[in-house]
């Protein structure tokens, strides 16, 4: 049995919040070593989700779905509200990891 799949267009319409940002600098390029951010409160988020069909409506206008999505966004954002924070090693992010990657070529004659 084949499932009927429908694409959904999800759009971030608005994001309002306050972020505390700490940047650790270094003398070599890319000049930024670490970035640490924390949210100073839960942000206000406006999202729309419209199925890509002829009569597609914004399903987030439905109260049950809208409440579920807003609660999910708030739960994730709450993980970064002060005093919690997230640090990103920008140098490592740009360079990549230190795991050697390669390819294996197998020739059959």
Q: How many domains does the chain have?
A: 1
Per the domain annotation, does 38 fall within a domain? Answer: yes
Instruction: Give the per-residue pLDDT at 21.
Output: 96
State the Cα–Cα distance between residues 14 and 11, nearest whole angstrom.
Answer: 9
Give the pLDDT band (50/70/90) at residue 48: very high
pLDDT, one tens digit per residue, over 62-94 is 999 999 999 999 999 999 999 999 999 987 888
Q: Coil, helix or strand for 90?
A: helix
Per the structure, the complete domain to which residue 52 belongs is given by 8-95
Average pLDDT over residues 43-66: 90
Per the domain annotation, does 42 fall within a domain? Answer: yes
Per the domain annotation, does 109 fall within a domain? Answer: no
Is residue 16 predicted with pLDDT exceeding 70?
yes
């Amino acid at each position: 049995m084949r499932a009927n799949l429908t694409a959904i267009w999800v759009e971030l319409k608005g994001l309002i919040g306050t972020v505390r940002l700490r940047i650790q600098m270094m003398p070599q390029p890319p000049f930024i070593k670490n970035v640490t951010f924390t949210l100073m409160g839960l942000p206000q988020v406006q999202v729309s989700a419209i199925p890509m069909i002829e009569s597609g409506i914004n399903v987030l206008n439905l109260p049950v779905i809208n409440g579920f999505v807003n609660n999910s966004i708030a739960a994730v954002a709450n993980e970064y509200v002060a005093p919690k924070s997230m640090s990103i090693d920008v140098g490592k992010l740009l360079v990549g990891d230190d795991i050697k990657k390669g390819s294996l070529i197998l020739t059959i004659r």
